[in-house]
Structure 1
Amino acid sequence: MSAKPMNILCVTAHPDDAEILCAGTLARYASQGHTVTIAVFTSGNMGDAKIPPDELAVMREQETREAADLLGARLIWAGIDDEHVFPTLEQRRIMIDILREADPDVIFTHSPNDYHPDHRYVGQLVFDSYFQKGLPHIPGQQRPACRFGQAQVYYLDNLGGIGFLPTEYVDISAVFELKMRMLACHRSQVVAMQELANTDLLGMIEIQARFRGLAAGCRYAEGFTRLDAYQRGLTSRILP
C-alpha cells in the first residue's frame, strides 16, 4: 500500500451503492489519511412506489450526506434521474467533470456485468471518461483537466455476489460496524427494499460481507476485480 496520501474515488449509480459495496474499504482508506470522495450519479428519485420523485431526491441526498459525514468523505452529487443513466455525450461530460474534481489515484465503480443498467452504464462512463479527465482541450467541460497519470480502477461486487468472482479482497472486520451505520443512514432505501422487494437490506449486506470474508480468511470482507488495461495497470497492490 502506498504510504503517500492518495485521492480515493468511488463512483456509483445510486445513493446507497457505495455503502452496500465498498464502504468498509473506503473507511480503511480514510483511517490511513487518504482523501475519500463518493460520487453519486443519480438522485435515486425513482426508487419508491409512494414518495414523489422530487421529494425522494431531497431525502436521498440528505441521507447520503449523513453517511458521507460519518466517514469524513467528500460528496459529489450529479443528480441525474434514477433509471435514466445512458452513455450519452451529455452524461460523459458530467462524468469527466466528476473525475476531474476528484483527481483520483484509485477509482471504484460498477462491474460491466452488474444486474442494473444504471450500474453498468455508470461503469462504462467511468471507463470512457478515464483519459478525457486529463486532456485539457475537451470541449464543453466545466472543470479544468486533472492529472493525466494512471488511476487504478477496481470493479465493485454485484449484489448477492452473482456472476462476480473477486480477484482481490479487503478485510473490513474492524470497520464493519461503521459500514453498517453508513448504510443505515439510507432510511428511505431500507424501507423501500423491504416494501417493494421483501428484502432486509442490512441483513443481506451482512451476509454478503460474511461470505466474502469466508473466502478471504477473515470475519468480514469486500471483494473487487482490478481493471487491467493499457496505461491503467499497476505493479503493486494499493488496496488497504
Structure 2
Amino acid sequence: MNILCVAAHPDDTELLCAGTLARYVREGHRVTIAIFTDGSIGDAVVKPDILSATREKEARAAAEILGADLIWTGVTDELVFPDKEQRHLMIDVLRRADPDVIFTHSPNDYHPDHRYVSQLVFDSYFQKGLPHMPGQSLPACRFAGAQLYYMDNIGGINFLPTEYVDITDVFETKKAMLACHKSQFVAMEDLASIDMNWMIQMQAGFRGLAAGCRYAEGFTRLDASQRGLTRRVLP
C-alpha cells in the first residue's frame, strides 16, 4: 500500500505517528511524509530563512531513517489557510503520493496550521482524482478508496482514539527520527519548557495503557462515503 502522512510542520510526524509509519515500512509498504510548511517561524532567536533550511535538512534526515519519501511543500510557517492556492498545493501532494491510507492532524488540534492542513486534506480528497481540475501540476490519481485517519493531539487533549497501533517494538525508531529535529528540542525548551523525548514517552505510554501494550499511537478514522471502510488497514 501507499501510506501518506500530511503534517503541518517538521517534527509533527515524529511526535504523532512515526511509530505507525515504521510498522508500515517493516511490513513492506511505501511511506511518504509530506511537510506542508517550512517551519521557519518556530524559534525566538533563529531567523526564518536560516531556520527553514535547517528544518528541511532535519526532516529529510528523519525520513531517511525510515526510507520514506519526503514532500516539502514550503508554505510559510504559521500562514496555512484553506484557500484556493493552498488547495491546489494539497491536491498535488495527494496526487504525488496516490495514497491508500492518509494520516493528518485532527480537526480539533490546538494549532491553526494543524487545523487548516486537516481541512485542506479533507477538501482535496476527491479532487485528487478528478482529471479536469484546473491549475494542477500533476495528473489525477485514484479517485477514492483511501482511508483517512486523524492523528492524536499533543497531550491527547479532547482526542478519543478509536484505533490504536502498538509501537513498542519500533519506539526507538520513533525516538531516533525525533532526535533528527535538533533545532526543535532547543526551541521547545525555550518557548514552552517542554522536553520532547519526555513528551512522546508520556503520550505513547498513556495510549499504550489504554491499548494494552507498552507504547501505542492512537487515531480516529474518518467514517465517510467512499473511504474503503470495510477492513482495518492499520498495522
TM category, shorter: over 0.9
Q: Which amino acid aligns with 2:75?
A: I
Q: Residue 41 of structure 1: SS of its match in structure 2? A: strand
1-side partners of 2:197 and 2:12: how far apart? 13
Question: Aligned to 1:97, what secondary structure does the other structure show?
Answer: helix
Pairing partner for 1:79 from 74, 78, 83: 74
In structure 1, list runs of 5 or more residues that go unmatched: 1-5
Long gaps (5+) in structure 2: none
Counterpart amino acid of 2:118?
G
Matches within 5 A, 1:229-240: 229-240=224-235
| Residue of 138, 153, 162 corresponding to 2:157 | 162
* Partner of residue 142, structure 1: 137
Which residue identity lines up with residue 98 of structure 2 in the other structure? Answer: D
Task: Work out whether 1:183 is the aligned partner of 2:171.
Answer: no
Q: Which residue of 109, 112, 134 corresponds with 1:114? A: 109
Mapped to 1, the partners of 2:191 and 2:142 lie a distance apart of 43
Q: Hey, what's the Cα distance between the residues in 2 that align with 1:98 and 1:20?
A: 21
Residue correspondences, number: 235
- What whole-Å deviation, never above 9, does each CA across 1:135-158 have from its counterpart, x for those lacking one? 000000000000113100000000
Computed over aligned residues only, the root mean square deviation of the Cα atoms, in angstroms, reads 0.5
Verify the 8 A CA contact 2:9 2:39 in the aligned structure 1: yes
Aligned partners of 2:182 and 2:38: how far apart in 1?
Answer: 15
**Do 2:38 and 2:73's aligned partners in 1 also have CA atoms closer than 8 Å?**
yes
Separation (CA, whole Å) in 2 of partners of 1:147 and 1:154: 18
How far, CA to CA, are the matches of 2:227 and 2:142 in structure 1? 14
Q: Which amino acid aligns with 1:172?
A: I
Amino acid at match of 1:215: A
Contact 2:150/2:222 (<8 A) preserved: yes
Q: TM-score, normalised by structure 1?
A: 0.97
Which of these residues, 185, 205, 208, is aligned with residue 203 of structure 2?
A: 208
Structure 1 residue ranges (4+ consecutive) displaced by more than 3 angstroms after TM superposition: none
SS in 2 for 1:219: coil
Task: Write the distance in 1 (CA, Å) between the matches of 2:113 and 2:54.
Answer: 20
Superposed displacement of residue 233, structure 1: 4.1
Asked whether the 8 Å contact 1:7–1:106 carries over to 2, the reply is yes
Instruction: Give the CA deviation at 1:202.
Output: 1.1
Aligned ranges 1:1-240 → 2 under 5 Å: 6-240=1-235
Identity over the aligned pairs, expressed in percent? 73
Q: Distance in 2 between matches of 1:38 and 1:179?
A: 14
Aligned to 1:3: none
Amino acid in structure 1 at the alignment position of 2:173: L
Please say if residues 227 and 233 of structure 1, whose CA atoms lie closer than 8 Å, have aligned partners that are also in contact.
Answer: no
